[in-house]
Each structure stands twice: as C-alpha cells, then as structure tokens.
Chains A and B, each alone.
Chain A
C-alpha cells in the first residue's frame, strides 16, 4: 500500500461554520507533507479527522482504515505529537518509558533508552521539572521509538528556542524518516522546514488551494527580480504577487515558462513563505 491517507470530499461543520469544505488530498508513503494555512483555516480539523479525534463527513481512509470506527487499530501504526506541552506534568521519565512499553505493541524500548541517553534528561525526573526543550526531546524520543508508518505533527516546536527546533527536525530526518514512512506536519515556522518537505498542501478557509510536490512547485512558480525600468513589462505578464526589494521589484509568476521570464531578470524559486503569502492573498 503506497497511499497512507486518502481523503475525498472531507467536510466538517461546527454549527453554521464550515471548517472544511469538501477537501480532497492524499499522502503517499515516503513523503514529508507540510500542511500550511492561517489560523482557523482547517489544519487542525484535518489532523483531528485523520487521528479519529473528531467526527467528519465524507470519505477518509488512513492506512486503509476508517479513523472514526477503527481508531484503535490506526493508532498502532500512527504516532502524533499534538504540541510539546501535552506530556502530563506529574509523569516521571522512567515511568513514561515503562508505560509506553506496556501499552504499545510497536514500541522499541531499547531505542527510547538510546535516544534518552544522548540527552541530559534524568530518568527519575518528573516532566514538570524539565525545561520545555527537554520535554520536547522526551516526547520525540518516545515517538521515534514507535515503529509507526505515519507520524502526524501539529506545531511540534511551538514555543521552543531555535536550537531545539533545528535539533528536533534534524533528529527526525536522521533517526526516524525513511521511504517506508510518512510525516504530515503543520507549523507556523514554515521557513525552518521547507528544505525537509517533499510535498506542500496549502489550505485557506477550509479549501485546499495548493497541492503539489516541491518539484512541481519549483517548476510552476518562478520569482523574477526585475529592475524598475522593466516593471511595466513584467506586470503585463500577470504576476501573482509583487514586492519591493532594495529598489528593485520581485514578481512571482505562476505557470509562466522560464524562457519567457529569463529576459526580464534574475530567476529564483520562491520561498515557501512567499508562495504562501501569495496563495493566501490570491483573489482577495
């Protein structure tokens, strides 16, 4: 099975508010997918639907199973970190390892001990005695020791300082990720993970506005740095966004070929953050 998540017409309403408006997407094995959108766009609703934490309408399969009815089986092969602050404060590190060992059939306790031994976390400490960064390390050590096929991360590095944030993703790549697994991640600090991602999913007002691999994005979206004199020529080609940089103008084009753009100036691939801003402003 290469498709880990398949959503067709996924919808969710909270009262009269439609959080998800018939969304289609899929996540294949061996991918790292960034789910990006402003607050309230429906990111968390998608993640909660996948994890069987909320009801939904439409068709959703996770590892071929129905998250609403087969949550228990799904969670044997799916891990998630909701955010760093959810480990109970009273729990001792050693007890946390013991607990997960006893309840999780795919947990490798030796791996967890190995990861923890590389940190300065004392085994007999309680979570409340650890720094925020250490709690994140502990949570990551537990999750990476689960032989999961899908890892869901919802703002996993929120509130951590930059050193821990970098370390968090480096470790995930080095110790966990391989072609047999997938990671689905939401974050506000998109610039920190854009080099990790293989796929992008942009969501706005409950609708997917971009669903592409990074290669497709690099092909389809091109930024051109244009001198002021050529600005009119560039604007005639319908750029999706423009901004000013050091007295020059940068235009973002969608679906315009390199050959057409090259005469205007220097070509770049846009950053995910710039692309995101463009997609969120589109049509507004």
Chain B
C-alpha cells in the first residue's frame, strides 16, 4: 500500500465522520451531558424527597450512614460495588451505539444514491473497495471508539460525582477511587464495546449489502429477506434454525457488550454462556462471522461498482 492509498483511505474514514458527526459524537456526548446534568440537578434539588406524602426523606442526612456502610464493607465487596456502577454506563450507551450502528449501516450505501452524491464520489479516483471498507471500518471501529471515549468520560464523571457525595457524607472519597480500578474498567469497557461490534460484523455487513441494492426503504430490503428465509425454512423443513442463529448472534452481541458487568455481578446476570471480550477471539463463530462479513462486503462492493445509476 502506497502513502497515497493510505491518505486516500484516511480521508474516506474522515468523510464518514463529517457526515455522521451527529450519530458518532453528538448523540453520546449529549446523552452523557443530560445524564450528568440530571444527576447533578437531582442531587441539588432532591436533598429532600417526600416519600408517601408527609414523611420527609433527606438524602444528605443519609449520606454519612451510607458512607460508613460502604467503608465497612470488605475490599472485594467495595470494589465490586464501584465497578458495577461504572460498567452500568455501558448498558445504556452501548444499546444506543448498536441502534446507531444499525441505521448507519442501512444508510451507508443507500443515502449517497438517494441524494445522487454518488456521482460526485464516483467522479474521483477512489475504488469502490476502498469506499465500502472505509464505511465498514467506521461502523465496526470508529463508532465504538467514539462511544468508548464518551463512556470513559462518563465513568470518570460518576467517580467524581460519588466523591462529592462522599464529602457530604464526611468521607474523603479516597476509598471509592481506590476501589474503582478505573484504568482497568476503561480498558475492559473499550475492548468489550469494540469486540461486541466486531462480533456483530456480519449483521453490519449484511445491512451494508442490503443498503447497496435497496431501491427504496433500505430497512425493508435489510429485513425482508431474513423473514423470507425464516418463513421458507419453517414451511419446507418445519424448523427454526436460521432465526435461532441470527437471534443468538445478536443476543450474544449485547451479552459481550455487558460481559464485564455480568462477571462483576457474579455471573448470573444472563442465563446463557457469556464470553469475556478476550475469549471472543478464541471462538470459531467469531471468525466464521468475519468470513461471512467478507462475503457480504464483496457483494456490496460489486453492487456499488456495477449498479447502473439511471
């Protein structure tokens, strides 16, 4: 690969960011800001919560008690409590990320045909392979990196918030930081998010393929064939293997995303076998998924190259 090709590919990935800044960055950033704002607002105004009309309940009055309880816990218990709280951020942000990725993939090769900007992109010496791969990289890696960064920032905020709460409870809050394993949490969060997205790569690649040949409503072109296969399978073989495989794949994506939390809670959050992010790479299904992704991507490249835009 020449330097020119690398520069060209970097420019393509950057273009995806320019076009999807809203979904990639502003959506999680605003979510984080709103949650942080609500928590601060809640702490400022909610120091007297009225429970069952009449019985005043003051959070601040209970803080010293809560801090004392926390500090009396064993080291392991404390660590568990704090880290569960931090990993909790992934549940919500990760879910939003998967939804965003879904719509990104569906629009990736459809929107440019809808607004005819494909005629501008095709007037430049960029191969269809580079274009499709840049979009695949955006969904499997760039989006997860942005969400990971925002999640890390939010986890940091959670710790700061808890520290201030600890001060009101008469504690220094050092115990919270000591129990947080912050860098470990950020590291594991990042890899769980990226791995989950890579695990779902066949789904993204399929949606990109559908996006490349959809004439209208890309969503239907992405979902209808799946339903047709399910119906055909049920009709011919009276089985439901296909939908089980698809459902299993997607469910496992969510599970990998939240695998850190699962093991922190004690391994009984999900009722299926849960892979830690580093175990995913040893799973043959993961690699089969990447091969399947490659086939769908080849289809998308071919379709974009030879589709007649009339």
**With A48-B308, A72-B127, A104-B125 known to touch, is A82 a contact of B120 (CB < 8 Å)?**
yes
Q: Are A88 and B7 in contact (CB under 8 A)?
A: no
Contact residues of A: prevailing secondary structure: mixed
A103 is an interface residue with CB less than 8 A from chain B: yes
B72 is an interface residue with CB less than 8 A from chain A: no
B12 is an interface residue with CB less than 8 A from chain A: yes
Bound complex: CA A118 to CA B289 (Å):
53
Bound complex: CA A102 to CA B9 (Å):
9
A76 is an interface residue with CB less than 8 A from chain B: yes
Bound complex: CA A98 to CA B308 (Å):
29
Q: Are B15 and A86 in contact (CB under 8 A)?
A: no
Residue A103 contacts which of B12, B116, B306, B308 (CB distance < 8 angstroms)?
B12
- Find residues 18-54 in chain B having any chain A CB closer than 8 Å to their own CB: 18-19
Q: Are A99 and B310 in contact (CB under 8 A)?
A: no
Residue B119 contacts which of A55, A82, A98, A104 (CB distance < 8 angstroms)?
A82
Bound complex: CA A98 to CA B12 (Å):
11
Bound complex: CA A88 to CA B18 (Å):
11
Bound complex: CA A131 to CA B15 (Å):
23
Q: Are B125 and A91 in contact (CB under 8 A)?
A: no
| Interface size of B in residues (CB-CB distance below 8 Å) | 28
B115 is an interface residue with CB less than 8 A from chain A: yes
Contact residues of B: prevailing secondary structure: helix
Q: Are A75 and B125 in contact (CB under 8 A)?
A: yes
A85 is an interface residue with CB less than 8 A from chain B: yes
Q: Are A86 and B119 in contact (CB under 8 A)?
A: yes
Most buried by A among B18, B123, B124: B123
Q: Are B126 and A88 in contact (CB under 8 A)?
A: no
**With A53-B308, A89-B115 known to touch, is A103 a contact of B123 (CB < 8 Å)?**
no
- Which residues does A use to contact B, with CB under 8 Å? 14, 44, 48, 51, 53-55, 71-73, 75-76, 79-83, 85-92, 95, 98-100, 102-105, 139, 143
**With A53-B122, A79-B123, A86-B117 known to touch, is A99 a contact of B308 (CB < 8 Å)?**
no
Bound complex: CA A270 to CA B12 (Å):
49
Q: Are A105 and B4 in contact (CB under 8 A)?
A: yes
**Would you give the 0/1 interface string for B278-310, flagging 1 where the beta carbon is closer than 8 Å to chain A?**
000000000000000000000000000110111
User: How distant is B65 from chain A, measured CB to nearest CB, in Å?
Assistant: 53
**With A95-B18, A102-B8, A102-B11 known to touch, is A87 a contact of B125 (CB < 8 Å)?**
no
Q: Are A87 and B7 in contact (CB under 8 A)?
A: no
Q: Are A80 and B115 in contact (CB under 8 A)?
A: no
Q: Are A100 and B309 in contact (CB under 8 A)?
A: no
User: How distant is B9 from chain A, measured CB to nearest CB, in Å?
Assistant: 9
User: How distant is B293 from chain A, measured CB to nearest CB, in Å?
Assistant: 24
Chain A residues whose CB sits within 8 angstroms of the CB of B112 once the complex forms: 88
Bound complex: CA A196 to CA B306 (Å):
34
Q: Are A90 and B18 in contact (CB under 8 A)?
A: yes
Bound complex: CA A90 to CA B8 (Å):
20
User: How distant is A229 from chain B, measured CB to nearest CB, in Å?
Assistant: 52
Residue B124 contacts which of A75, A83, A90, A92 (CB distance < 8 angstroms)?
A75
From B8, which residue of chain A is reached at the shortest CB distance?
A103
Q: Are B124 and A87 in contact (CB under 8 A)?
A: no
B10 is an interface residue with CB less than 8 A from chain A: yes
From A55, which residue of chain B is reached at the shortest CB distance?
B306
User: How distant is A276 from chain B, measured CB to nearest CB, in Å?
Assistant: 24
User: How distant is A138 from chain B, measured CB to nearest CB, in Å?
Assistant: 11
Q: A72-B125, A76-B125, A105-B125 are in contact. List 15 more A-B contacts (CB 8 A).
A: A14-B310, A48-B309, A54-B310, A55-B306, A75-B123, A81-B123, A82-B123, A85-B116, A86-B119, A86-B120, A88-B120, A89-B115, A102-B8, A103-B124, A103-B125
**With A44-B310, A48-B308, A55-B306 known to touch, is A80 a contact of B117 (CB < 8 Å)?**
no
**Would you give the 0/1 interface string for B256-296, flagging 1 where the beta carbon is closer than 8 Å to chain A?**
00000000000000000000000000000000000000000
User: How distant is A134 from chain B, measured CB to nearest CB, in Å?
Assistant: 16
Chain B residues whose CB sits within 8 angstroms of the CB of A48 once the complex forms: 308-310
Q: Are B123 and A80 in contact (CB under 8 A)?
A: yes
Q: Are A88 and B308 in contact (CB under 8 A)?
A: no
**With A44-B310, A53-B308 known to touch, is A87 a contact of B117 (CB < 8 Å)?**
yes
Chain B residues whose CB sits within 8 angstroms of the CB of A14 once the complex forms: 310
From A101, which residue of chain B is reached at the shortest CB distance?
B11
